[in-house]
Chains A and B, each alone.
Chain A
Amino acid sequence: MSLLEVKNLVVEFPNRRGTLRALDDISFAIAPGEILGVVGESGAGKSLTGAAIIGLLEPPGRVAGGQILLEGQRVDNLPYEQMRHIRGRKIGAIFQDPLTSLNPLYSIGRQLTETIQTHLPVSYEEARKRAIGLLEDTGIPAAAERIDHYPHQFSGGMRQRVVIALALAAEPKLIVADEPTTALDVSIQAQIITLLKRICKDRGAAVMLITHDMGVIAETCDRVAVMYAGRIAEIGPVHEVINQPAHPYTEGLMAAIPDITVDRERLNQIDGAMPRLNAIPAGCAYNPRCTKTFDRCKVDRPDLMAAGATRAACWLHESGGVR
Chain B
Amino acid sequence: MSNSRAFVQAHDLAKTFDVSVPWLNRVIERRPRQLLNAVDGVSFEIEKGKTLALVGESGCGKSTVARLLVGLYEPTRGGLTFDGQDAHAAFKTPEGRKLRRRIQMIFQDPYASLNPRWIVEDIVGEPLKEHGIITDSAQLKQRVGELLKSVGLSPLDMVKYPHQFSGGQRQRISIARALATEPEFLVCDEPTSALDVSVQAQVLNIMKDLQQKQGLTYLFISHNLAVVRHVSDEVGVMYLGRLVELAPKQALFATPQHPYTRMLLDAIPKMHDTGRQRTPVSGEVPNPLNPPTGCTFHPRCQHANDRCKSQRPQLLELRGVKIACHAVEEGRI
What is A's interface to B at a CB cutoff of 8 Å?
41-42, 155, 157-158, 185-191, 193-194, 212-216, 218-220, 238-239, 242-243, 252-254, 256-264, 266-271, 273
Contact = CB atoms under 8 A, between A and B. Distances in A.
B270 A260 contact: yes
B57 A256 contact: no
A223 to B, nearest CB: 12
B196 A42 contact: yes
Given A41-B198, A258-B229, A267-B230, 10 more contacts: A186-B267, A187-B263, A187-B264, A187-B267, A190-B278, A212-B196, A218-B272, A239-B274, A260-B268, A271-B202
Nearest to B209: A266
Contact of B208 (A190, A214, A266): A266
Nearest to A185: B57
B: interface residue count bin:
35 or more
Contact of A252 (B198, B199, B223): B198
Contacts of A252: 198
Given A186-B57, A258-B204, A218 B271 contact: yes
A225 to B, nearest CB: 16
Nearest to A252: B198
Interface in B264-313: 264-272, 274, 276, 278, 280-282, 284-285
B272 A259 contact: yes
Contacts of A158: 284
Interface of B: 57-58, 166-169, 196-202, 204-205, 208, 223-227, 229-230, 253, 263-272, 274, 276, 278, 280-282, 284-285
B238 to A, nearest CB: 13
A260 B166 CA distance: 27
Contact of B202 (A189, A259, A269): A269
A191 B201 CA distance: 28
Closest 8 CB pairs of A and B: A215-B269, A256-B201, A41-B196, A190-B267, A267-B201, A185-B57, A258-B230, A219-B269
30 contacts: A42-B167, A42-B196, A185-B223, A186-B267, A187-B263, A187-B267, A187-B284, A187-B285, A190-B267, A190-B268, A214-B197, A215-B269, A218-B272, A218-B274, A219-B269, A219-B276, A219-B278, A243-B272, A256-B198, A256-B201, A257-B197, A257-B271, A258-B230, A260-B226, A260-B253, A263-B229, A264-B230, A269-B198, A270-B198, A270-B202
A218 B198 contact: no
Contacts of B197: 41, 212, 214, 253, 256-257
A187 B271 contact: no
A269 to B, nearest CB: 5
Given A190-B278, A242-B272, A185 B201 contact: no
B226 A188 contact: no
Contacts of B58: 185
A186 B264 contact: yes
B285 A269 contact: no
Contacts of A260: 225-226, 229, 253, 265, 268, 270
A258 B227 contact: yes
